[in-house]
């Protein structure tokens, strides 16, 4: 079995050290193989402009905050998926790092930017990749990637058994949609959202909470409340994601008629 979970919390805009400290304090007492954190979990979300995002960005090769999350992963012998603003020269990406006991194992850069994110972040430029930890195959997406079925399909067809989705959801459809993604790909999906509000000069956003874990076939193993802190952990058998037959004669991948999808 493989223990997975998420930590849904209310993070503070523009307070990366405080948010990082909160993550480390709370997770110090958690035992899990894998734990997913929200999108942009250090900085907050609703940047006024690119300069502000750059100001709160992290260079993963030179970041005290990310180093301390790496130390946590080493101390607890676990893997974490952390959303953060990744700085690269004069650009930033809305990224998710897979961090293990030996440090950063992979960084995914959000490919589909949501709404005003298009004025802040560069579009993700790295292909989808499946990472294996303790024999379990993980795929990463970030929040709004959910609305493009191709994202999870690509990862599932590369063998991903567990999809990790750091999120800052403001729309209300994602959680329901992930049930369909899990049915059509027979994968586990861990969605870690945040809750609370960000009130900024350019407007206010309310995050919808309801983080969840969905099992292959669409069963919701757990869904948290909308506006409350939550840590949820459960044991899953990732091999449940290996059988892609939905009936005896219907295979989700082999039965695709790609010649009609052009
Ligand atoms: C989103 O992609 N953060 C809505």
Q: Which CATH number do you get for residue 60?
A: 3.60.110.10
For ligand 1, what atom is nearest to the CA of residue 170? Answer: 4
Cβ atoms of 128 and 160 closer than 8 Å: no
Among protein residues, the one whose CA lies closest to atom 2 of ligand 1: 144
**Which pLDDT score, from 0 to 100, does residue 220 have?**
98
**Which pLDDT score, from 0 to 100, does residue 206 have?**
98
**Which pLDDT score, from 0 to 100, does residue 174 have?**
97
Strands 130-133 and 162-166: unpaired
Q: Which residues have C-beta atoms less than 6 Å from ligand 1?
A: 39, 114, 143-144, 168-170
Mean pLDDT of 27-43: 98
Give which of 170, 142, 193, 164 is closest to 9, Cα–Cα.
Answer: 193
- Ligand 1: distance of its center to the CA of 117 in Å? 8
The DSSP bridge partners found for residue 245 are: 251
pLDDT in tens, 153-186: 999 999 999 999 999 999 999 999 999 999 999 9
Taking the alpha carbons at both ends of the chain, their separation in whole angstroms is: 40
- Number of domains comprising the chain: 1
Residue 125 lies in a domain: yes
Q: Provide the domain limits for residue 78.
A: 2-241
In the chain, the largest separation of any two C-alpha atoms, in whole Å, equals: 56
The two counts, helices (H) then strands (E), for the chain are 5, 16
Q: Report the predicted TM-score, pTM, of the whole model to 2 decimal places.
A: 0.98
- CA angle 247/250/253 to nearest 5° reads 125
Residue 173 lies in a domain: yes
**Which pLDDT score, from 0 to 100, does residue 54 have?**
98
**Which pLDDT score, from 0 to 100, does residue 210 have?**
98
* Spatial separation of the C-alpha atoms in residues 227 and 207, rounded to whole Å: 8
Give which of 241, 222, 240, 242 is closest to 230, Cα–Cα.
Answer: 222
Mutating to test ligand 1, I would choose from 37, 38, 39, 211 the residue with most ligand atoms within 8 A of its C-beta, which is 39
Is 164 known to be catalytic?
no
Give which of 152, 154, 155, 165 is closest to 210, Cα–Cα.
Answer: 165
Residue 257 lies in a domain: no
Residue 253 lies in a domain: no
Residue by residue, what is the 3-state secondary structure of 100-139?
ECCEEEEEEECCCCCHHHHHCCCCCCCCCCEEEECCEEEE
Mean pLDDT of 118-133: 97
For ligand 1, what atom is nearest to the CA of residue 145? Answer: 2
pLDDT band at 20 (very low <50, low <70, confident <90, very high): very high
**Which pLDDT score, from 0 to 100, does residue 11 have?**
93
Mutating to test ligand 1, I would choose from 117, 194, 209 the residue with most ligand atoms within 8 A of its C-beta, which is 117
For ligand 1, what atom is nearest to the CA of residue 45? Answer: 3
Residue 184 lies in a domain: yes
**Which pLDDT score, from 0 to 100, does residue 167 have?**
98
**Which pLDDT score, from 0 to 100, does residue 116 have?**
97
Residue 98 lies in a domain: yes
**Which pLDDT score, from 0 to 100, does residue 134 have?**
95
**Which pLDDT score, from 0 to 100, does residue 52 have?**
98
- Ligand 1: distance of its center to the CA of 261 in Å? 27
**Which pLDDT score, from 0 to 100, does residue 159 have?**
98
Cβ atoms of 213 and 190 closer than 8 Å: yes
Output the CA–CA distances (angstroms, integers) from residue 102 to 52, 74, 95, 129, 257, in the order listed: 31, 7, 19, 19, 42
Is 20 known to be catalytic?
no
Q: What is the mean pLDDT of the chain?
A: 98
**Which pLDDT score, from 0 to 100, does residue 166 have?**
98
Residue 84 lies in a domain: yes
Mean pLDDT of 236-251: 98
Is 110 known to be catalytic?
yes
Residue 258 lies in a domain: no
């Amino acid at each position: 079995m493989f223990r997975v979970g998420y930590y849904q919390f209310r993070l503070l805009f523009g307070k990366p050290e405080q948010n990082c400290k909160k993550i480390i304090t709370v997770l110090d007492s958690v035992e899990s193989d894998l734990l997913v954190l929200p999108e942009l979990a250090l900085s907050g979300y609703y940047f006024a402009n690119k300069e502000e995002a750059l100001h709160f960005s992290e260079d993963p090769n030179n970041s005290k905050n990310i180093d301390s999350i790496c130390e946590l992963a080493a101390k607890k012998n676990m893997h974490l998926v952390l959303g953060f603003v990744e700085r690269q020269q004069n650009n930033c990406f809305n990224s998710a790092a897979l961090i293990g006991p030996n440090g950063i194992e992979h960084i995914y850069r959000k490919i589909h930017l949501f709404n005003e994110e298009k004025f802040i972040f560069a579009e993700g430029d790295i292909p989808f990749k499946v990472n294996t930890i303790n024999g379990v195959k993980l795929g990463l997406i970030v929040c709004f990637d959910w609305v493009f079925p191709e994202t999870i399909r690509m990862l599932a067809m590369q063998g991903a058994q567990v999809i990790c989705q750091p999120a800052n959801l403001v729309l209300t459809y994602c959680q329901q949609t992930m049930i369909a993604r899990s049915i059509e790909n027979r994968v586990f999906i861990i969605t870690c959202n945040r809750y609370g509000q960000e009130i900024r000069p350019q407007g206010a956003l309310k995050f919808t909470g309801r983080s969840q874990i969905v099992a292959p076939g669409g069963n919701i193993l757990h869904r948290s409340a909308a506006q409350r802190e939550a840590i949820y952990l459960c044991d899953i058998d990732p091999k449940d994601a290996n059988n892609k037959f939905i009936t005896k004669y219907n295979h989700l991948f082999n039965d695709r008629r790609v010649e009609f999808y052009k």
